[in-house]
Homo-oligomer: A and B are copies of this chain.
Amino acid sequence: MTTAAHEFELLERTWRDVTPPAARRMLIAAAAAFAGRGYHATTTRDIAAQAGMSPAAVYIHYRSKEDLLFQISRIGHRRALEMLTGVTETEPVARMSAAVKAFSSWHAEYHLTARVVQYELTALTPEHHAEVVELRREIESTVRGMIEDGVAAGAFDVPDVRGATLAVLSLCIDVARWYKPGSRRTPESIGTLYADLVLRMLGA
């Protein structure tokens, strides 16, 4: 399979719950375009053409171009949060390791979605921005909780919990910026590498 086809399949998987199919095709086209060129550099004509429809068809399914961005951002943030909350391990070190692995490898594997999620926030309307910031706060407090648990259990040695939380999230999020598919480093191997580096940072 070509890289482009693989990228498309990953977007299909991310947005499979969106209906009707034409609305989904539009979201996928928008996500790919926003990730590749940025929100402001993407035109509604670009999106419609990629979805194989006329420019006016965008407005059958979405209120505006910004609405398209908001849907991608909202659902994308939920997916990112699920990577952290979906961890089943209970022991602090194993739990942290699994969370970092899932969260960082998600940012690699689904880097197109992740890029929109992490770098196009500022293009949202103030109301939509506030809604998304709430989800980001949940992500932040989830990670902070995991670090606090580890410290309480004596498994971590962390002088500055909030600072460490910042660094862990920062490290994982930035994967979406530099990751390029088809390189030697796979999402899986990035997850393993980062889980190890984070545990070292936390003095496990």
Contact = CB atoms under 8 A, between A and B. Distances in A.
Contacts of A15: none
Interface residues of A, number: 29
A173 interface: yes
A123 B194 contact: no
- State how many copies of this chain the complex holds: 2
Is chain A's binding surface mostly helix, strand, loop or mixed? helix
A197 B164 contact: yes
Contacts of A164: 197
A190 to B, nearest CB: 8
Interface stretch (A1-9, A19-27, A35-43, A51-59): A35-43
A164 B198 CA distance: 11
A46 interface: no
Interface string A141-172: 00000000000000000011001101100110
A65 to B, nearest CB: 13
B167 A197 contact: yes
Given A41-B40, A160-B193, A170-B171, A119 B122 contact: no
Given A41-B123, A200-B200, A203-B200, A171 B175 contact: no
Given A163-B197, A167-B197, 4 more contacts: A163-B185, A171-B171, A173-B174, A200-B203
Interface of A: 37-38, 40-41, 118-119, 122-123, 159-160, 163-164, 166-167, 170-171, 173-175, 177-178, 185, 193-194, 196-197, 200-201, 203
15 contacts: A37-B122, A40-B41, A41-B123, A119-B177, A159-B196, A160-B193, A163-B193, A167-B171, A167-B194, A170-B170, A170-B175, A173-B177, A174-B174, A174-B177, A200-B201
